[in-house]
């Protein structure tokens, strides 16, 4: 790490001090250390768990997480927020996409400790309360999903994409949504989502769907 600004590792000096004081009161935890590298001060966290506070979907969540843990794994394993999916775990597929301060980000290549102090929105928090976001409804209307494992990440990426490109052309879609991968092959429906959100006439077969808000009437298992 070469940067030495206040936000290295995504932590402000103030947060760092705050965390240090918490860490000091919790035995078995390794608090952040400052070491000198190449004449510069570098903050080293861990290797043991450190206290982490995240703001997710408007709620403040706190826990003990090793510094090497990604935001994705922290959300899924520590806070049971499982909308972001782990698929490639190395920024190739987009299934883990969340919004951080309004930007679509791969949470598999963001450390949990880096995401502190920022507004994180997962697919679960895209809509308002129980009401889905219009993008999420459009995924249903256009049947832009099959197994659905890529879908939550796609919805977050789509929302961010449409905010920048409300009237995206097919070429812009091809480039702007190329960071998300679907194996079942739902891209045609995803083009339909863009068209619907942009108010364009739906292509091909879309538009005759019987819309049924059936979210809770089919339940697997117990």
Partner 1 sequence: MAPTDKYSYPSPEQRDYIGRRMARVDGLPKSTGRAKYTYDYNPKGLLYGAFVRCPHAHARVKSIDTSEVEKMPGVKAVEVVQQPGSEIHWAGDEIVAVAAVDEPTVRDAVRAVKVQYEELPHLVIDSDEPPRNLPPDTSPLSLDDLQGLARNQVPGAQVVKEINERGITFKPEEASLDRIPPDIANAIKSAKQKPAEKKAPSWYKPAAAETQGDAEAAFRAPDTVVSEGIYGIPVIVHCCLETHGAVAEWTDNDHLLMHASTQYVSGIPGQMAEVIGIPAANIREVQENIGGGFGSKFGPDRWGIYSAKLSKRAGGAAVKMMLSRAEEFAVAGCRPSAYARVRVAAKKDGTLTAWESFGWGTGGPGGGGSPPIPYLIRDRIPNYRTQWTAVVNNIGPARAWRAPNHPQACLITMTALDDLAHTLGMNPLDFFKKNVELTGPRANIYMDEFPIADELMGWSKRWHPRDDKTPAPIKRGLGLSMHTWGGRGHQSECDLTIQPDGSVTIKIGTQDLGTGTRTAIMAIAADTLGLTPQQINLLYGDTQYPPSGGSGGSTTIGGVSATTRRAAVDARDALFAKVAPTLGATAEQLEAVKGQIRVMGQASKALSWKDACAKIGGVPINAHGKNLGGRDPLMNSGVGGVQMADVSVDTETGVVKVNKMVAVQDCGLIISLETAESQCYGALIMGISYALYEEKIMDRTTGQMLNANLEFYRLARIGDIGELVVKMMVNKYDSRGVIGLGEPPVVSPGAAISNAVANAIGVRVPMLPLTPERVLAALRGAQKGESA
129 touching partner 1, by CB under 8 A: no
Could you tell me if 44 and 32 are in contact, meaning their C-beta atoms sit under 8 angstroms apart?
yes
What's the CA gap between 169 and 110, in Å, rounded? 30
Q: Judged by CB, which is closer to partner 1: 27, or 39?
A: 27
60 touching partner 1, by CB under 8 A: no
Q: Judged by CB, which is closer to partner 1: 2, or 208?
A: 208
141 touching partner 1, by CB under 8 A: yes
58 touching partner 1, by CB under 8 A: no
Identify which range of 2-10, 15-23, 74-82, 111-119 contacts partner 1 by CB under 8 A.
74-82
Could you tell me if 142 and 110 are in contact, meaning their C-beta atoms sit under 8 angstroms apart?
no
Paired strand residues for 40: 37
Helix/strand/coil for 209: coil
Q: Which of 39, 60, 103, 222 binds partner 1 (CB under 8 A)?
A: 222
- For residues 3 to 42, the per-residue mask of contacts with partner 1, x marking binding by CB under 8 A and - elsewhere, is ----------------------------------------
Q: Which of 54, 115, 140, 197 binds partner 1 (CB under 8 A)?
A: 140
Q: Using CA atoms in the order 82, 86, 91, 92, what is the torsion angle rounded to 10 degrees?
A: -120
Give Cα separations from 123 to 55, 143, 200 (angstroms): 14, 17, 25
């Amino acid at each position: 790490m070469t940067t030495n600004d206040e936000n290295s590792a995504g932590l402000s000096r103030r947060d760092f001090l705050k965390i240090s004081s918490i860490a000091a009161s919790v035995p078995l935890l390794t608090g952040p250390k400052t070491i000198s590298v190449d004449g510069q001060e570098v903050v080293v966290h861990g290797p043991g768990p450190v206290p982490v506070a995240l703001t997710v979907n408007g709620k403040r969540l706190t826990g003990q997480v090793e510094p090497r843990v990604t935001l994705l794994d922290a959300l899924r394993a520590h806070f049971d927020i499982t909308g972001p999916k782990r698929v490639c775990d190395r920024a190739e597929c987009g299934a883990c996409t969340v919004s951080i301060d309004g930007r679509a980000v791969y949470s598999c290549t963001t450390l949990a400790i880096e995401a502190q102090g920022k507004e994180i929105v997962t697919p679960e928090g895209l809509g308002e309360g129980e009401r889905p976001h219009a993008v999420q409804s459009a995924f249903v209307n256009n049947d832009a999903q099959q197994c659905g494992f890529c879908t939550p990440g796609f919805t977050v990426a789509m929302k961010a994409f449409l905010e920048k490109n409300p009237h995206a052309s097919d070429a812009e879609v091809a480039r702007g949504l190329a960071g998300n991968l679907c194996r079942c092959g739902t891209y045609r429906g995803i083009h339909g989502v863009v068209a619907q959100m942009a108010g364009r006439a739906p292509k091909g077969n879309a538009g005759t769907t019987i819309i049924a808000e059936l979210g809770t009437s089919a339940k697997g298992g117990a």
